[in-house]
């Protein structure tokens, strides 16, 4: 089996209100070109294993980590339907990269899910500017399972303790989104962690 994958390019959904067809056509072309590039050596890379640093660089060069952010100054974003279509096309070419991108999109909205609109907007601007790739996992509260991560107040912040297996992207991510139980209050909190800073 060679690395080439034969597939029909996926049609992107109709543009949402406020998003021009020209913007969507640009994203469609960018996604197709990257998918074609990834498909050439996807099987060989999969057999070889290793960390996907090169693949993440290709995603960044194409601007795909910022795709789901709202359009506007310093943002080149689109909507969820467009992002999901992009994930499907990338996954058809390279399943591992598609999984990485899909998780990134879901987690990149963590600020909207768990914070104030002001903080979420500031976080998104920084993530776009610095081209963050997001990874991590959050558990549903009240599942009855023993918490695997805890947050202990320390100085002006918190110390994260414990361990968790995460499905994809940890070694190549810029930020991790994790849930942990605060040792002082017992509350379940969602935290943003820079994996480059261990302390």
Q: Where are the domains of the chain?
A: 21-130, 134-193
Q: Can you give the pLDDT at residue 35?
A: 96
Q: Which CATH superfamily is domain 21-130 in?
A: Acyl-CoA dehydrogenase/oxidase, N-terminal domain (1.10.540.10)
Kindly give, in sequence order, each residue whose CB lies less than 8 Å from that of residue 66, ignoring residues fewer than 6 positions away.
75, 76, 77, 127, 128, 131
Six-digit token pair at 101? 């991108």
Q: Can you give the pLDDT at residue 40?
A: 94
Task: List, for the chain, all residue ranges whose pLDDT scores fall below the cut of 50.
Answer: 1-18
Give residue for tokens 């989104």: 177
Which of helix, strand or coil describes residue 158?
Answer: strand
Q: Can you give the pLDDT at residue 170?
A: 82
From the number of C-beta atoms within 10 Å of its C-beta (0-12, 13-18, 19+), residue 167 rates as exposed
Regarding pTM above 0.85, the answer is no
């Amino acid at each position: 089996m060679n690395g080439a994958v034969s597939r029909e390019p996926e049609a992107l959904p109709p543009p949402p209100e406020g998003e021009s067809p020209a913007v969507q056509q640009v994203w469609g072309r960018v996604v197709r070109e990257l998918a074609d590039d990834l498909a050439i050596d996807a099987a060989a890379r999969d057999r070889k294993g290793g960390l996907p640093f090169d693949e993440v660089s290709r995603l960044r060069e194409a601007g795909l980590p910022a795709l789901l952010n709202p359009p506007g100054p310093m943002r080149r974003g689109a909507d969820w339907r467009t992002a999901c279509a992009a994930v499907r096309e990338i996954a058809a070419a390279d399943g591992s990269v598609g999984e990485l991108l899909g998780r990134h999109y879901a987690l990149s909205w963590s600020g909207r899910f768990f914070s104030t609109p002001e903080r979420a907007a500031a976080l998104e601007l920084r993530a776009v500017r610095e081209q963050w790739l997001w990874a991590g996992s959050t558990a549903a509260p009240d599942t009855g399972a023993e918490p695997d991560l805890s947050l202990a107040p320390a100085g002006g912040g918190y110390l994260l303790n414990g361990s968790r297996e995460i499905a994809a992207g940890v070694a190549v991510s810029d930020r991790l989104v994790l849930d942990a139980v605060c040792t002082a209050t017992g509350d379940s909190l969602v935290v943003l962690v820079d994996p480059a800073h261990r302390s």
